[in-house]
């Protein structure tokens, strides 16, 4: 038996037999296989276990790593099913060889398997990072048959866990109410989490889940697995518990309406499934994903921090003109901001974009609104010492547009069927499977950035689902491939853009948080967390979103009040600022409508945030008191890598007489270090609270905790720890 050590990296095919340990700094997956046998998984968890020990402990799981239809018994669900050219629906995969390669900061384990009867090759990949506890797994299916085969199901990965008091946490939501964590015990039978929007995949449910192995999910303790499917299209995540000793997690592209036709000599690569294991509860899994996103290229921004910006949408909606743009630039510059973003409404010639019923696709400046074009705006921004950004929605077209008049065939549709129209009663989705459409989308970005090299930021929106299933580009017998090829086309365009423009900041927006996923984030710097900017609801939305996504990816903007989306709710500007400060800070209102107090508070908030920003945006997140626990407050904090500095946020989210509020016990600090608390963004007209300037050991802060003064409704505090 050969135990392969991750240090023995080599590009050549290794002689192997038996056990393979896929290891990250603190975790390990144990696989075993013999040439001519099945690939099996025995363990996933803390590093250090051996097959022998697992066997001796009577705890070896010994399940197929990739259960395939035809070989698994009919109790287990298959992760892969292929229909061969001759109609045969079975696979019997046998391992032919094993390779261990170096891949950047990771070791890549590749198992090549072949069907015993038909010429289909399946490679199973495990990528183990050496600096962060993430494993990625995916497969590649190659058709060596003479005719096309059908991929009826093609999951990215499968995980098997010992049955127990296991809980599932998944995100559920809607437009303007994204990412509510739902926690439920895993019970007998099948639980499915799916998305079928076609174009966006994280409004209603999300392709990320956690599995807590030691009972009800806890923030700081308990063995916890996190799984994120790195894909922007439809997905299906399944947790299946059978009358045995196991829970099974399967994750992959949703096969419904996507039974993929694979041509001879073609290889299909499934999206990656990223897995994390932590003994530090949900918080540990979150920190692992955040670190992976920032340090391993899974978030284009990496360790960089995002600019403080003003976005024109909620302040002006479609009411764009040159004067208003310049006035907004003046305002954001006065606040100490760094970037102004002109949102929807700046384009259209024959059809001016005055509302959402027209013009998408006609990416020319509306000279009636901007007579001096974009150059006048980029110049104006430079003169004010700030950067300039612009909104586009590249994958969409309105039926009232010159583009649709020229190329009606570029919209997704089926010949003869009535078009189902989206936003504004006229919106359609472009056919990203068509290389001409891909070029059109690339050229839109390329032309903007070539003609206006001062554009520093693009907000890339996507406001429609695929409601018309059909492509006039794909052949009749390839219509099945639409949902998948749409996203492969989108990725192709994004790769081209990033090759030429690595430095432009691009926001991933989809009617708010409809596209927060690790399929797209390698090409984007951040995402618009939600179209709901009500600060109280944002406490919840940002909480759920932070389970998998880091703070420098989450755009969080101060809004105006009364706020229409939550029935005219009015929240003090201090609370609004403090909530937005816990992510990438921005502002989303008409500054000229602000009161003096609001202006002063925002200026103070921007000033203080500038100092706190590196820790908030790139530090380790510790969620302290959940808003979902109904304790009257929510609290979270960020700590730098050396545990010498931190930022603490506390929000009062409920208010009644004689209300008992919990002590805030901090986390992630050095117990022996001494920290001074300094209150930041102090409310205009008030003095810092009594805790400000006080010194405490990390041990005291973590074990005893502090009473944070929060008297009035919507009270909130931000502290710097040094
Ligand atoms: C939806 C986005 O989420 C908003 O922020 C805004 O950009 C609008 N689209 C513009 O139409």
372-415 tens-digit pLDDT: 999 999 999 999 999 999 999 999 999 999 999 999 999 999 99
Report how far ligand 1's centroid is from the alpha carbon of 461 (Å).
7
Burial of 335 by CB count in 10 Å (0-12 exposed, 13-18 middle, 19+ buried)?
buried
Report how far ligand 1's centroid is from the alpha carbon of 69 (Å).
44
Round to whole Å and give the CA distance between 460 and 528.
10
State how far Cα 196 lies from the chain centre: 17
Which of 80-84, 241-245, 327-331 has the weakest average pLDDT?
241-245
The pLDDT assigned to 1 comes to 29
Higher pLDDT, 15 or 154: 154
Is 344 close to ligand 1, i.e. is its CB under 6 Å away? yes
Report how far ligand 1's centroid is from the alpha carbon of 346 (Å).
13
Cβ 619 vs Cβ 692: under 8 Å: no
Mutation choice for ligand 1 from 354, 509, 515, CB with most ligand atoms inside 8 A: 509
Q: Which residues contact 411 (CB under 8 A, 6 or more apart)?
A: 397, 404, 419, 428, 429, 430, 431, 468
Is 343 close to ligand 1, i.e. is its CB under 6 Å away? yes
Query: Among the atoms of ligand 1, which is closest to the Cα of residue 423?
Result: 11
Which of 37-41, 254-258, 263-267, 630-634 has the weakest average pLDDT?
37-41
The pLDDT assigned to 3 comes to 33
The pLDDT assigned to 7 comes to 33
Query: Among the atoms of ligand 1, which is closest to the Cα of residue 356?
Result: 11
Report how far ligand 1's centroid is from the alpha carbon of 650 (Å).
29
Is 427 close to ligand 1, i.e. is its CB under 6 Å away? no
Q: Angle at which helices 322-335 and 596-618 pack, to 10 degrees?
A: 70
Report how far ligand 1's centroid is from the alpha carbon of 268 (Å).
34
Is 395 close to ligand 1, i.e. is its CB under 6 Å away? no
The pLDDT assigned to 18 comes to 78
Q: Which residue has the tokens 């639980």?
A: 191
Report how far ligand 1's centroid is from the alpha carbon of 471 (Å).
26
Residue bearing the CA closest to ligand 1, atom 2: 511
The pLDDT assigned to 54 comes to 85
Residue bearing the CA closest to ligand 1, atom 1: 511
The pLDDT assigned to 60 comes to 63
Q: What is the share, in percent, of the chain residues with pLDDT greater than 70?
A: 97
Round to whole Å and give the CA distance between 641 and 581.
20
The pLDDT assigned to 55 comes to 84
Round to whole Å and give the CA distance between 361 and 398.
7
Which of 51-60, 361-370, 388-397, 550-559 has the weakest average pLDDT?
51-60
C-alpha torsion 341→456→292→252, nearest 10: 70
Is 347 close to ligand 1, i.e. is its CB under 6 Å away? no
Cβ 494 vs Cβ 447: under 8 Å: no
- What average pLDDT does the structure give for the chain? 95
Report how far ligand 1's centroid is from the alpha carbon of 169 (Å).
29
Report how far ligand 1's centroid is from the alpha carbon of 305 (Å).
23
Residue bearing the CA closest to ligand 1, atom 6: 313
Cβ 605 vs Cβ 577: under 8 Å: yes
Report how far ligand 1's centroid is from the alpha carbon of 663 (Å).
39
**Domain spanning 9-295, CATH class:** mainly beta
Is 528 close to ligand 1, i.e. is its CB under 6 Å away? yes
The pLDDT assigned to 541 comes to 98
Round to whole Å and give the CA distance between 103 and 82.
29
Hey, where are the domains in the chain?
A: 9-295, 623-721
Is 512 close to ligand 1, i.e. is its CB under 6 Å away? yes
Is 531 close to ligand 1, i.e. is its CB under 6 Å away? yes
Q: What is the mean pLDDT of residues 181-199?
A: 96
In tens, the pLDDT along 215-260 reads: 999 999 999 999 999 999 999 999 999 877 889 999 999 999 999 9
Cα–Cα nearest to 204, from 229, 238, 235: 235
Tokens of 175: 């437009």
The pLDDT assigned to 215 comes to 98
Q: Which residue has the tokens 């502290």?
A: 719
Is 533 close to ligand 1, i.e. is its CB under 6 Å away? no
Confidence of residue 16 (pLDDT cuts 50, 70, 90): low
Does the pLDDT at position 422 exceed 60? yes
Cα–Cα nearest to 286, from 333, 350, 220: 220
DSSP H stretches of helix in 336-372 = none
Does the pLDDT at position 135 exceed 90? yes
Is 461 close to ligand 1, i.e. is its CB under 6 Å away? yes
Report how far ligand 1's centroid is from the alpha carbon of 511 (Å).
6
Query: Among the atoms of ligand 1, which is closest to the Cα of residue 510?
Result: 3
Give the CATH fold of the 623-721 domain: Immunoglobulin-like (2.60.40)
Confidence of residue 58 (pLDDT cuts 50, 70, 90): confident
The pLDDT assigned to 13 comes to 41
State the DSSP code for 569.
Answer: B
Q: How many CB atoms lie within 10 A of CB 447?
A: 12
Residue bearing the CA closest to ligand 1, atom 10: 344
Q: What is the mean pLDDT of residues 534-556?
A: 98
Strands 309-311 and 584-588: parallel
Reduced to 3 states (helix: H, G, I; strand: E, B; else coil), residue 224 is strand
Is 458 close to ligand 1, i.e. is its CB under 6 Å away? no
Query: Among the atoms of ligand 1, which is closest to the Cα of residue 531?
Result: 3
């Amino acid at each position: 038996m050969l135990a392969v050590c991750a240090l023995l990296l080599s590009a050549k095919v290794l002689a192997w037999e038996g056990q393979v340990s896929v290891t990250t700094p603190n975790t390990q997956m144990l696989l075993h296989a013999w040439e001519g046998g099945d690939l099996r998984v025995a363990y996933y968890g803390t590093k250090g276990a051996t097959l022998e020990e697992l066997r001796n402990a009577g705890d070896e799981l010994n399940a197929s790593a990739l259960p395939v239809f035809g070989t698994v018994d009919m109790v287990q669900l298959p992760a892969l099913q292929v229909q061969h050219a001759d109609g045969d629906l079975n696979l019997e995969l046998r391992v032919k060889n094993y390779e261990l390669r170096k891949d950047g900061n990771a070791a890549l384990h590749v198992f090549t398997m072949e069907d015993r009867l038909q010429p289909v090759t399946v490679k199973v990949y495990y990528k183990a990072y050496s600096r962060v506890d993430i494993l990625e797994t995916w497969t590649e299916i190659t058709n060596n048959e003479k005719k096309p085969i059908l991929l009826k199901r093609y999951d990215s990965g499968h995980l098997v866990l010992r049955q127990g008091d296991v809980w599932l946490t998944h995100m559920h939501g809607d437009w303007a109410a994204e990412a509510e964590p739902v926690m439920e015990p895993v019970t007998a039978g099948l639980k499915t989490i799916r998305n079928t929007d076609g174009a966006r995949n994280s409004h209603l449910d999300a392709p990320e889940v956690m599995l807590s192995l030691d009972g009800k999910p806890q923030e700081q303790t308990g063995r916890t697995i996190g799984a994120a499917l790195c894909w922007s299209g439809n997905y299906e995540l399944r947790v299946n518990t059978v009358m045995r000793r196991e829970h099974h997690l399967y994750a992959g592209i949703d096969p419904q309406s996507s039974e993929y036709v694979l041509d001879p000599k073609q290889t299909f690569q499934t999206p990656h499934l990223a897995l994390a294991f932590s003994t530090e509860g949900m918080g540990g899994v979150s920190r692992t994903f955040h670190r992976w996103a920032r340090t391993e290229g899974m978030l284009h921004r990496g360790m960089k921090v995002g600019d403080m910006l003003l976005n024109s949408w909620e302040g002006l909606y479609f009411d764009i003109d040159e004067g208003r743009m310049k006035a907004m630039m003046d305002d954001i510059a006065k606040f100490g901001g760094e970037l102004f973003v002109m949102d929807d409404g700046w384009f259209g010639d024959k059809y001016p974009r005055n509302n959402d019923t027209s013009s998408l696709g006609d990416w020319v400046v509306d000279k009636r609104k901007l007579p001096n074009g974009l150059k006048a705006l980029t110049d104006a921004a430079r003169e004010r010492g700030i950067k300039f950004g612009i909104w586009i929605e590249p994958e969409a077209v309105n039926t009232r547009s010159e583009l649709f008049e020229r190329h009606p065939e570029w919209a997704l549709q089926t010949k003869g069927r009535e078009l189902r129209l989206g936003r504004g009663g006229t919106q359609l989705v472009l056919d990203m499977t068509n290389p001409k459409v891909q070029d059109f989308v690339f050229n839109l970005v390329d032309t903007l950035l070539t003609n206006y090299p001062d554009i520093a930021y693009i907000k890339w929106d996507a406001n429609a689902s695929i409601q018309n299933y059909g492509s006039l580009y794909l052949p009749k017998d390839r219509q099945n491939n639409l949902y998948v090829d749409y996203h492969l086309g989108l990725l192709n365009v994004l790769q081209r853009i990033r090759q030429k423009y690595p430095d432009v900041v691009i926001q991933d927006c989809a009617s708010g948080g409809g596209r927060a996923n690790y399929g797209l984030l390698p090409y984007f710097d951040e995402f618009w967390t939600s179209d709901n900017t009500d600060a109280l609801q944002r406490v919840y939305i940002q909480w759920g979103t932070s389970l998998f996504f880091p703070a420098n990816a989450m755009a969080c903007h101060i809004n105006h009040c009364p706020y229409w989306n939550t029935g005219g709710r009015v929240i003090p500007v201090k609370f609004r600022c403090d909530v937005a400060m816990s992510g990438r800070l921005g502002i989303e209102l008409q500054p000229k409508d602000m009161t003096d107090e609001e202006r002063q508070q925002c200026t103070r908030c921007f000033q203080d945030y500038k100092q706190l920003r590196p820790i908030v945006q790139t530090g380790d997140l510790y969620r302290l008191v959940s808003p979902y626990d109904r304790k009257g407050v929510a609290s979270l904090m960020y700590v730098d890598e050396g545990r010498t500095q931190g930022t603490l946020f506390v929000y009062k989210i409920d208010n009644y007489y004689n209300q008992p509020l919990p002590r805030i016990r901090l986390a992630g600090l050095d117990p022996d270090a001494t920290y001074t608390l300094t209150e930041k963004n102090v409310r205009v007209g008030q003095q810092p609270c009594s805790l400000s300037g006080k010194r405490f050991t990390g041990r005291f802060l973590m074990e005893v905790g502090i009473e944070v003064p929060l008297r009035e409704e919507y009270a909130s505090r931000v502290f710097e720890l040094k």
